[in-house]
Structure 1
Amino acid sequence: MARLTTPFAIADLSPAPNRALALELARAGLAVFPVRGAGPDAKKPCPSVRWSLDATTDAAAIEVWWRRWPDAMPALHLGRSGLLVVDLDRHDGGADGLTAWAEVSGGEAGAPAVDTPSGGRHIYFRQPGGRAHGNREGLLKGRGINIRGHGGYVVAPGALRADGEGAYQPVLAGALVAAPPVPDWLYALIDPPAAKPAPRQRPAAPPIADTRLGRYADKAIAAEIDALRAAGKGGRNNQLNRSAFALGQMVGAGWVGEAAAMSLLTSAAEACGLVADDGLPASLATIRSGLKKGRTQPRDAPPPRKGPRRLVRERGGAVVDGDTGEVVHEVKRARAAVEFPDALTRVPGLVGDITDWISATARRPNRVLALGAALTLVGTAMGRFWAGPTLSSTVLYMLALAPSGVGKDHALQQIKRLLAAAKMARTIGPDEFISMPAVIHFIEREPLSLCPMDEFGSFLKRINAKRASGFERGISKIMRSVWGTNFGLMTTPEWAATPARTVRAPALSIYGASTPEDFFEALDGGDVSNGFLNRFTLLTVASRTEDREPPEPPLVVPEKLSESLRRLFGGGNPLVVASKLHETDVEIEPFVIPWGPGAEAVYMGFQRDILAWQDRDHDAENFIGRAAEMAVRMATIRAGGRDPVAPEITKDDMEWGRAVALWSARTLYRMGRLYISETDFQAEANRVLRLIDAEGGEISQETLRARMKSRLKARELREVIETLEDTGAITRESVATEGGGPRKTVYFLRG
């Protein structure tokens, strides 16, 4: 099996064997396929390879290709990889693309750049969600600058030609997966306005003297400016772009003047520190670009609010129009509809056995919390030795969210108790990290560990606080790196007195327990946009169980469980445990668990489903982007727990992993939208939405007022409700019961 080196820093690689390079790229999530490595057809797809259809991130398919064509070079499917490449040509007697690029870009650097054997250069950018620019050069045509994007491909950086005529050698440090987005000025050149349809003509907005429209406009402007003022590092420039676009829409609608919008945005950019860090010219360029785009899509005025309809609730629970019989709102959603399905906690093998034991030893049994603990326990036992068929690790960041009094502490204690009984106490990690150096030093000592962390939300709140030190805020960066490294190399930072080190296959798993409020309120805006949040597998509990006397003694670990866990640890080989699992500088060649019949098809189908979801809803990527990877990790853990001798991922394993990952992704997305806020007003609006959601999607005005009485004055609550109605988040109805009685005002969630 190929040895895996740096997992993401593709631009830092020296030329490597093409097969190993293809696996590296695929593991980083980039779709690859083989092209001929020499001769007159060099760079063309290998025979029978339909590159636009066959490009893949599947390691098994890549192994088959390179066994057949060992001299092939890996190429990147740019559309599937979300990349756009500027291809700079340099030919005798022709246009010099490198010189032309220096002129149009102003020497802008920072994007990965790769010198090609012909003397040209490839500049890599990432296409943001919703953009799929193809191969059009636009205004750059004829200048030696070609564009390769959706519907195009390039030979991968680091690829070696088989005829010895050179290599595609990186020249700038940086990873393709972290390439900067295509800059606005480049889109303007390759997709100029003249090539676009004229902006739609919106009907004239009602005069701003309309008090309701004026109130709506004031709130919309204030919300954008407040969000920008509160933006933290990592998300400020994106927020500036979003806010500038939004205010540009309002300029186009006649709600605010452009000079006023520019002034408001500049002031907010200064307040959040963006001007100080990036400079005023860069901020002004972003503002002008956003305003210009927004003006072409004027904001629509809110629809006139209708008076409460006269509706009737039938005895079955549905709300219908009393005159037409039309069902306006379905039966109130039961709480069970948002609970984790109990059937998914009934798992064969060691994962299920541990789930049963943790539940049986609890005073307040909860199989959902127990399942999360079981998955991280078995995943840790398999760590640094077993790999999934996509060469993924078994590292999990498991997030158990539940209200106080549910019994979260029991699962945390049983994790440590079982690891100690299995003679794996060395893998028990700390319940909190104080700083980024502390995380690094711990991983250097113990590259395989499981951290049972209580009050995880409080931990995040500390490291994301405005007064947090750089070392505290750097913790999340290290956590992101560990989750994605798999069996590659993680390079630590270098300080004045501490040289950088490399850690092979770091495997730090987390079982973090928190309340939903503490966790989501602790998140920084950057945690959502930088991929930190979607690395977590979320399991939630909404209801409490009654105390009981545990049917099994909590302090006694069944020998069968500890032995089974030990059998997975290093494949049950004490020599492997002693010589490799706890060492950071030894070569790790994992045992790859293969696909069984039908399992890979389930995985590939799920991957397509997630991509389609992201295409439909671009905001979803920040919450669901790694769901397919989570699914295969959990399926790998379940397979290893079923058969520690010759495991195979069955179709049932993969369908179960898909179901858990999909439930997690949907719930994370729903809860994120109900909790995450940038302003105090938005936080209170989200609190109202959560109350309605918790009541099954509807709540009476009387109940809502009672629940919010201690937080908001009547006038403030009224403003929140009006805003939620104006934005279409909720509807207000007047509902009577079928048998008569007084009408009640009821608020319903929409969507």
Structure 2
Amino acid sequence: MTSQQLEPTEDDFGFVPDNRPVHDDHDPAVEALEEKYWAIVSKFEGYGYGAKIVEPHDEWLHIAVRVPDDGRYPGPEVHHWAAHVYDYHGGAEALITIDSDSKPVVSQIAPNPWPEYWAVGTFPDPEPNESTARTALKIAERAINPPPAPDYTQPPSVNPFAPHKAGGLLEAIAGWVSLTNRRPSPEFAMLAAIGFVSALFSRRAVGPTHAGLNMYLAGLATTGFGKEHPLAALQCLAYDCKMPWLIGPGDITSGAAIEKIVRRRPAFIMPMDELGALLESVNGRGAATWAKTIRKVLLELYSKSTGSWTGREYADPDKDSSADPIFAPTVSFMGMSTPETFYAGLTEESLSDGFLNRLTIVSASERPKKQEAGPLAAPASLIEMVKDYAKALPQSDLAAAGSRTANMRPSMVTVPWADESVREHWDAIEDWQVSQITDHGRLEGVMGRFALQVLKLATVRALSMSPAEPQVTMSDVEWGRAIVWKSVTYIEQGIETHMAGSAFEELVNAILNALRASPTGYLSMAVLVKKKGVSKADHKMVKAALDRLFERGDIYMPSIVGTGMRVTLAGREVPDE
């Protein structure tokens, strides 16, 4: 459950919180209690709960926390004429005491505000029901007993593909996509919803670290999983909402073709029916030069969504592309493929050039059951909802219009963290990502943008929940982490299953055979790269192969010896040098 610190401003009922110190004297007993009080307050504030001494005594302190009835936005403020705090919108009061041993306990739950304060305004729900009191109690207990730190070695427990777990516009779109699909897959329905919402706010909003909302989405499944429908629904919704600029081409022939459309429309999502076939034509060993430019452009554009991109420099002496930059190009794609075709389109270079860690891959878990489905047309309620959400973002009409002009620097809304604890939580995910690569040998080409993808998804969910006042909350981050966790796991499993026998695996085996042939069980890097089957591989591929061997437990982490590196078989003792 997340929280939001309320600003000390006058509310609808004329209430102005009193932020003056409660005591200005220097009573030693009170000061001793205050010191203990502030120690526990830091825990409150870490979860977004403000607190204040409202009634100090010699042996205990009262801390009142205001809790709304929906439990979503706890915003504690001290009432300026009373010793207790009440929610003006039907919530219950949670009264917490801290004794002389600094042990906080929930000592009282008031089911409704006192009648004498009703004159302040009209209470929509003056008598909250039993569940409201339980919600208040739960939030108050969490404030004084914070949950243990998340275990980043385990996936989040939330099912991110359940529409109600996403909420807001994502829930509405995913539900409609499933309802109109003869073979509904919740994973692919949510993928379409994510793609649409990211495109809707692309070049208009960015995350707390100023990360753009461009995403490379891929859905993988065999035949019979209804893969075509989410792509069709994505386009249908944009056209029915009279927003055709959100949809880009479904088939691209070269990097120059991508640049051409980006110069016309700098933000869109491309629905691709055969993503695997495209990758195979782009990455294959016999790929034409023009096809290879597609991969190069996609790699470049991913990191340019908040910067500028000049595209390709042409031989035409009258054309200077560097003098005509595209500001904040925000290009996304959503592609479908079978696993076999998709992985056949990947090469060894894909494991090290960063293309894979730019992808968010979703795979359907169960073969969908057939259902009756009506014609594919967005209902009026969904169209109205999309348009309302697009208008709700706190952005001027001029800025919104400028978001579709390539040579105009867009004015984008920065979606903030809900509170400091959420930022710290995401920072910890980023640190975990680095440790997985450096300490546990996981491929950087797969894990290298784990935290970034989490934040992009979290920002999309925050906009989906409240475009007028978006904030990235803890639940947004965990929802995004659940999707990226599944994506990375699926990629790693797919590499093992579908890329076995490839040139990369041949390189892995060549390194392993060279080490086993060494009497000592180790080789210097300078010697290893000259061995048969290794000498023709580039540095990135050798590093990726060593990462794979370390991850499998076949070798120790390469160590520095003198001025070079040494690679050692696992289980072999090597004398220190």
Please tell me whether the aligned partners of residues 403 and 541 of structure 1 are also in contact (alpha carbons under 8 angstroms).
no
Alpha-carbon displacement from aligned partner over 1:246-276 (angstroms, at most 9, x marks no partner) = xxxxxxxxxxxxxxxxxxxxxxxxxxxxxxx
C-alpha spacing 1:465/1:368, structure 2 compared with 1 (3 Å): same
Q: Match for 1:605 among 428, 432, 439?
A: 428
* Pairing 1:84-95 to 2, within 5 Å after superposition: none
Question: Does structure 1 residue 676 correspond to structure 2 residue 495?
Answer: no
Give, in angstroms, the shift of residue 667 of structure 1: 1.9
C-alpha spacing 1:338/1:517, structure 2 compared with 1 (3 Å): farther
Alpha-carbon displacement from aligned partner over 1:681-707 (angstroms, at most 9, x marks no partner) = 959x99xxxxxxxxxxxxxxxxxxxxx
Gaps of 5+ in 1: 1-336, 687-725, 731-751
Alpha-carbon displacement from aligned partner over 1:333-360 (angstroms, at most 9, x marks no partner) = xxxx999765587311111111111111
Q: Match for 1:583 among 386, 398, 405?
A: 405
* Pairing 1:321-720 to 2, within 5 Å after superposition: 343=162, 346-497=165-316, 498-500=319-321, 501-550=324-373, 553-569=374-390, 575-576=397-398, 579-597=401-419, 598-677=421-500, 679=502
Please tell me whether the aligned partners of residues 339 and 541 of structure 1 are also in contact (alpha carbons under 8 angstroms).
no
Structure 1: how far apart are the matches of 2:504 and 2:244?
47
Bigger drift between 613-622 and 361-370 goes to 613-622
Q: Could you say what secondary structure the match of 1:513 adopts?
A: strand
Give, in angstroms, the shift of residue 657 of structure 1: 1.2
Please tell me whether the aligned partners of residues 403 and 542 of structure 1 are also in contact (alpha carbons under 8 angstroms).
no
C-alpha spacing 1:341/1:349, structure 2 compared with 1 (3 Å): closer
Please tell me whether the aligned partners of residues 399 and 411 of structure 2 are also in contact (alpha carbons under 8 angstroms).
no
Please tell me whether the aligned partners of residues 158 and 482 of structure 2 are also in contact (alpha carbons under 8 angstroms).
no
Structure 2: how far apart are the matches of 1:399 and 1:679?
22
Cα root mean square deviation, aligned: 2.9
Alpha-carbon displacement from aligned partner over 1:725-748 (angstroms, at most 9, x marks no partner) = x99989xxxxxxxxxxxxxxxxxx
TM-score w.r.t. structure 1 length? 0.44
Task: Find the counterpart in structure 1 of residue 117 from structure 2.
Answer: none
Structure 2: how far apart are the matches of 1:473 and 1:677?
24
Q: Could you say what secondary structure the match of 1:474 adopts?
A: helix
Q: Could you say what secondary structure the match of 1:508 adopts?
A: strand
Q: Could you say what secondary structure the match of 1:612 adopts?
A: helix
Give, in angstroms, the shift of residue 486 of structure 1: 2.3
Please tell me whether the aligned partners of residues 255 and 294 of structure 2 are also in contact (alpha carbons under 8 angstroms).
yes
Please tell me whether the aligned partners of residues 399 and 410 of structure 2 are also in contact (alpha carbons under 8 angstroms).
no
C-alpha spacing 1:575/1:526, structure 2 compared with 1 (3 Å): same
Q: Could you say what secondary structure the match of 1:431 adopts?
A: coil
C-alpha spacing 1:541/1:360, structure 2 compared with 1 (3 Å): same
Structure 2: how far apart are the matches of 1:528 and 1:642?
35
Structure 2: how far apart are the matches of 1:339 and 1:382?
25
Bigger drift between 481-490 and 560-569 goes to 560-569
Structure 2: how far apart are the matches of 1:467 and 1:594?
46
Q: Could you say what secondary structure the match of 1:561 adopts?
A: helix
Task: Find the counterpart in structure 1 of residue 40 from structure 2.
Answer: none
C-alpha spacing 1:395/1:676, structure 2 compared with 1 (3 Å): same
TM-score w.r.t. structure 2 length? 0.57
Q: Could you say what secondary structure the match of 1:607 adopts?
A: helix
Gaps of 5+ in 2: 1-155, 510-548, 554-577
C-alpha spacing 1:504/1:727, structure 2 compared with 1 (3 Å): closer
Which residue identity lines up with residue 539 of structure 1 in the other structure?
Answer: V
Question: Number of residue pairs matched?
Answer: 352
Please tell me whether the aligned partners of residues 339 and 540 of structure 1 are also in contact (alpha carbons under 8 angstroms).
no
C-alpha spacing 1:639/1:447, structure 2 compared with 1 (3 Å): same
Please tell me whether the aligned partners of residues 162 and 186 of structure 2 are also in contact (alpha carbons under 8 angstroms).
no
Task: Find the counterpart in structure 1 of residue 58 from structure 2.
Answer: none
Structure 1: how far apart are the matches of 2:504 and 2:369?
37
Structure 2: how far apart are the matches of 1:641 and 1:728?
38
Please tell me whether the aligned partners of residues 163 and 170 of structure 2 are also in contact (alpha carbons under 8 angstroms).
no
Give, in angstroms, the shift of residue 458 of structure 1: 0.3
Give, in angstroms, the shift of residue 620 of structure 1: 1.9
Give, in angstroms, the shift of residue 421 of structure 1: 1.4
Give, in angstroms, the shift of residue 579 of structure 1: 3.3
C-alpha spacing 1:606/1:338, structure 2 compared with 1 (3 Å): closer
Task: Find the counterpart in structure 2 of residue 692 from structure 1.
Answer: none
Alpha-carbon displacement from aligned partner over 1:470-528 (angstroms, at most 9, x marks no partner) = 22101111111111112111121201124323110111111110011101111122222
Please tell me whether the aligned partners of residues 352 and 445 of structure 2 are also in contact (alpha carbons under 8 angstroms).
yes
Q: Could you say what secondary structure the match of 2:253 adopts?
A: coil
Q: Could you say what secondary structure the match of 1:395 adopts?
A: coil
